[in-house]
A and B are shown apart, each in its own frame.
Chain A
Amino acid sequence: MHIDGLTVRFGAFTAVDSVTLEVPPGRIVGLVGESGSGKSSLAKAVCGLVPHTGRVTGASRVQMVFQDPYASLDPRMRVGESVAEALLRMPRQARAAEVERLLGLVSLPAEAAGRYPRELSGGQRQRVAIARALGAEPDLLVADEITSALDVSVQGAVLNLVRSLRDRLGLPILFISHNLAVVRYVCDEVAVMHRGRLVEHGPTEDVVGSPGQDYTRTLLEAVPRLRR
């Protein structure tokens, strides 16, 4: 997937300023930056959810997983029905089996299909949201802060899942997070956004190990570390 000169404006305010970025097949590209830097606006533009200028090529079926797993599932729909919404193109009889396969892909038992979102933990809900996105057979997955609403105890499982999706399905992923420790762990490449612009982009080891920009250094220093 290739983003070329993408710009998002809200009135006179430029949230994303002519960003060019590539997400190669089978790679996870991390997008970091402080709040208000335009990460979510970029993600929404890539998904076609906000008006923008510039070009997004090489990704015709983009799916997004949202930050808040409590808001991204319809509270009145069973998990199975929510996931099946991605499968409307399939014949009705084939859907149940496919729902089961998708839930299995994100390590959820088949019986989860009959439950309502409120009966699941945050991590389980986020997996349902990922299963639903996978059902649409995306050629790019956009994950916007998908673990920031989750407990540390389940975050690990979701991050492991993201990595395994790349390894098993070769799915390219744009992984947005403000948590650099998380980004460092899951991403192959890191892109840094500041005030709507892309200020640095490179392999994870390089950006984290020897940042080229002061702004990146500030972000790295802000990562909380337990005092030992």
Chain B
Amino acid sequence: MFRTPAAVAGAVLVAAMVVLAVIGPPIWGEAAEHIDAGAILQGSSAAHPLGTDNLGRDLLARVLVAGRYSLLLALAAALIGATAGIVLGALPSVLPARPARLVTGAVNALVAFPGLLLAMFTAVVAGLGARGAVLGIGAAIAPGFARLTQTLAASVAGADYVSAARMLGVPRRRILARHVLPNIAEPLILHLTQALGGALLGLAGMSFLGLGVQPPSFDWGRLLFDGFGRIYVTPEVALGPALAVALAGIGFNLLGDALARGAARTSAPRTKAVAPESADPGEPEPGAVLDVRDLTVTFPGGVTPVRGVSLSAAPGEIVGLVGESGSGKSLTAAAIGGLVPYPGVVGHARLRLDGRDVAGLSRKELGTSLAMVFQDPMASLNPALKVGGQLAEVAVVHQGATRAEARARAVDRLGHVHLPEPGRQARRHPHELSGGMRQRAVIAMGLMGTPRLIIADEPTTALDVTVQRQILRLLREVTEETGSAVLFISHDIAVVGELCDRVVVMYAGRVVEELPADRLTDGAHPYTRALIASLPDMDTDRSLPLASIPGRQPAPAEVGDGCAFAPRCPLATDACAAGRPPLVEHGPAHRVACWEVTCTSTA
């Protein structure tokens, strides 16, 4: 999280402020109150680096001591604002419809109202002094919190688990307390950090306007107010408090930003390669669009979800990658596209796209030669923008098309993925489409360019077989037209078996079997066979229970030395737990990693 200089600066500044608040008053308290009639209204000197005030008190000491009071007032104001705002923002979700609308309307009006005016108005009503200023700034902060709470609560309120609770008859107040608030706490806390910075500046402003802290108390704003009259004679007396306010404000804002960015899922820009499992890259496959050898993805703590995966795809070929969730399919795809999230580390002996090392490609070159379609269509669509506009954007940015061309192409592509009435759909927002329609829109987005490799990660999980078939046919059309290749990731072995050319089966981070798709029923690995057996088809005997694989796949950190499938494998022997079976040839275009299969066939 603290990888950027801005984040480090924010953390250091905030830490310094906290230290100052703790140690300031005990150390410099006396000096700050020490009246010296002989040194009134002085400028900077060796004894008083920031000068003295009208009673001869040392201004540097006063600035250092004022830190605690300033920060405490800011904290109080931010907490008051946050509490009021969260209550206001949460009210509409518990009130009946009419009062709820009233509250929402009031919040909207307050958000539009200038914060400083709100603060001054409240402060004047509440009375001059620290209390009025704190309440004023709290009032100025509250509407922002209310709006944020409302937005966040609305998004959580749409979640399936809230629908489930509603159907169970869980009361609204309990839903709010148990489901909504805990799930929105994180962004609210981040916002509080930033609000603290704002409150600090706001309070200083109030004191500076004479509306805040009154003598003999003093905070940074008050010191600034007192020093301001002398700014043309001895500017340094105003400089101290001004600098303190600015540094603290900047610190809290930087830290808040960094925390917010850390909380949002970020992906590392480009992950560096580490030493691969086998150092021998071997001979590159001639003519392959995708050529991967010994791909490894590691996370700190020795967690290795992808372990030495080798893959290739010829022009026009659709390669299916199957395996249950957690087997490393998506990370394999992410590693190829340089999208492994921080702090993952990618290693490989070879990673070539269209005959070129991926490491040597620029972000833009990679972007045009590789298209990725993800599992969750909403991750690729901006909910605020119309579908057509988002697609057109791709053509404008990547291909330098004009707006009109881009729009026409977007509508054409939407029709291409069999979205009914593409012209009308282009004008709709993502949430107005069904899950299946959204995914088709995302696929259309991937087809706006002419990529060499299309990686489609579970693009059809939310789709029915009719659409799956159409989309696979569409992908096939594209590959035949352009000679590109497709890496099609799915946990549905039936879809992959029917629609791909070749199937690669993954289990616990490794390839366990690789074979032509039309020979999937001849799969030799016990895992492949179990997958096929547990698949209901149109001939399954309905009177018998369906087969399923007992147990579960080991998590990446649990994978030991032996065959990872051993605990669930009906054929497992002692040899299986002891050593990992290598992936070896098993007939033409067929490779298997299983001791039982390879030993029996060679014996």
In the bound complex, do residue A178 and residue B463 qualify as a contact, i.e. CB atoms below 8 Å apart?
A: yes
User: Does A210 touch B at the CB level, under 8 Å?
Assistant: no
Is residue A73 contacting chain B, with contact meaning CB distance below 8 A? yes
> B160–A68 contact, CB under 8 A?
yes
Q: Is the CB of A182 within 8 A of B165?
A: no
Q: Scan residues 181-228 of chain A and give those whose CB is less than 8 A from a CB of chain B.
A: 181-182, 184-185, 208, 218-220, 222-228
Knowing A151-B491, A226-B520 are in contact, say whether A35-B168 is a contact too (CB < 8 A): no
**Leading 7 A-B pairs by shortest Cβ distance:** A35-B436, A178-B464, A156-B548, A156-B546, A151-B324, A72-B160, A224-B498
- 25 A-B residue pairs with Cβ-Cβ distance under 8 Å, sorted by A, are A33-B464, A34-B464, A35-B434, A36-B434, A36-B437, A49-B166, A66-B160, A66-B164, A72-B161, A73-B161, A88-B174, A132-B168, A152-B491, A152-B493, A154-B548, A155-B546, A156-B536, A156-B547, A160-B548, A182-B536, A185-B546, A222-B466, A224-B499, A226-B521, A226-B535
Total number of A residues with any Cβ neighbor in B under 8 Å: 63
Interface pair B538/A85, CB less than 8 Å apart:
no
Q: Which of A88, A132, A228 contacts B169 (CB 8 A)?
A: A88
Q: Does A93 contact B (CB under 8 A)?
A: no
When C-beta atoms are compared, the residue in chain A nearest to B433 turns out to be A36
Taking the closest CB of chain B, its distance from the CB of A38, in whole angstroms, is 9
> B545 contacts A160, CB within 8 Å?
yes
Which of A35, A76, A185, A222 is close to B542, meaning CB atoms less than 8 Å apart?
A185
Residues of B close to A85: CB separation below 8 A: 165, 168, 170, 178
Complex contact A64–B545 (CB within 8 A): no
Alpha-carbon distance between A46 and B258 when the two chains are bound, in angstroms:
45
Is B71's beta carbon under 8 Å from chain A?
A: no
Contacts of B168 in A (CB 8 A): 63, 85-86, 88, 132, 135-136
A67 to B160, CA, bound (A): 9
Residues of A contacting B159 in the complex (Cβ-Cβ under 8 angstroms): 71
A-side contacts of B537, CB under 8 Å? 181, 223, 225-226
Does B183 have its Cβ within 8 Å of any Cβ on chain A? yes
Within 149-181 of A, Cβ neighbours of B (below 8 Å) are at 149, 151-157, 159-160, 163, 178-181
Chain A interface residues (CB < 8 Å from chain B): 10, 33-36, 40, 47-49, 62-64, 66-68, 71-77, 82, 85-86, 88, 121-122, 129, 132-133, 135-136, 148-149, 151-157, 159-160, 163, 178-182, 184-185, 208, 218-220, 222-228
Residue positions of B touching A, CB distance < 8 A: 159-161, 163-171, 174, 178-179, 182-183, 324-325, 432, 434-437, 461-469, 491-495, 497-499, 517-518, 520-521, 530-532, 534-538, 540, 542, 545-549, 552
Q: Does the CB pair A152–B465 fall under 8 Å?
A: no
Chain A residues with CB below 8 A from B549, complex form = 153-154
Asked whether A153 and B161 contact (CB < 8 A) given A35-B464, A63-B168, A182-B536, the answer is: no
Bound CA span A176–B448, Å: 34
Give the shortest distance, in Å, between A193 (CB) and chain B (any CB). Answer: 11
By a CB distance below 8 angstroms, the chain A residues around B468 are: 222, 224
CB within 8 Å for A226 and B497 given contacts A148-B462, A160-B546: yes
